[in-house]
Amino acid sequence: MTLQSIIRIANYSDGVLYALAVLMLLALAVILDRAWYLRRTILGGERLVADVAAHEAIGTADLGRLLAEAGNLPEAAILEICLRQGPRRDLGDLGRLLDEAIMLAAPRLDRRLWFLDTIVTLSPLLGLFGTILGMFRAFSVLGTPGNAPTAVTGGVANALITTAAGIFVAMIGLLAYNGLSNAVRLVVHQMETLRTLVLNRFTESRAGRAAAE
């Protein structure tokens, strides 16, 4: 298919195919951005969880080292709160503060995914709208003297390309949206796991100090 054919089909849809192309580019931009960020976050979270799980007790020095390793990861908020509150803080109060940190971090994880969800819903409707416009153009041929009725067939075929394009954009967006949403759930699970691990190891360290005293 030549460039001229693509332009002719796009013009046949009264520009709807151009709008679908823009939505596809925006969807790809969101997919690449979120996929890169979430994969880096998941890998960093796995290292932090494994590091904390390998310790029987967590002290202030360990928290400082883990916080430096966390960098910009969302788990850094959990470690920062634990380091700021210190091991003498009541574990019940500390647990509630960590819950707050997880709830505040969660909305930042699925940032811009709403836009991908909107594209999934909008693209098929926009494609159908372009097909309807193309069908109007195709059947208008019958009302023009000198045009053969067989010309309608080619017009209908061109009009249906817009619906196919809209469904294609929606399928790509849906697959990406489900995958990215699952990645967000995994990051939240890692944060909750880190919260539990840190609290348990604070308990062990407090028990050890109590026994020593």
Q: How far apart are the first and last CA of the chain?
A: 82
DSSP string covering 77-133: HHHHHHHHH-TTS-HHHHHHHHHHHHHHHHHHHTTTHHHHHHHHHHHHHHHHHHHHH
Higher model confidence: residue 114 or residue 160?
A: 114
Which residue is associated with the tokens 């960020």? 37
Measured distance CA(53)–CA(197) in Å, rounded: 7
Q: With 70 as the cut, is the pLDDT of residue 3 above it?
A: no
- Evaluate if residue 82 carries a pLDDT over 70: yes
Band (152; pLDDT cuts 50, 70, 90): low
Give the 3-state secondary structure of residue 74. Answer: coil
Predicted local confidence at residue 179, as pLDDT: 95
| E strand or H helix at 21 | helix 16-53
| Tally of CA atoms within 13 A in the half-sphere of 189 that contains its CB | 8
The two tokens of residue 196 are 């539990």
63-67, 145-149, 166-170: the lowest-pLDDT one: 145-149
| Window from 15-24, 105-114, 120-129, 202-211 with minimum mean pLDDT | 202-211
- pLDDT above 90: percentage of residues in the chain: 35
Per-residue pLDDT of 8-58, as tens digits, reads 666 666 778 888 999 999 999 999 999 999 999 999 999 999 998 988 888
Phi, psi of 150 (to 5 degrees): -65, -15
Which pTM does this prediction carry? Answer: 0.80
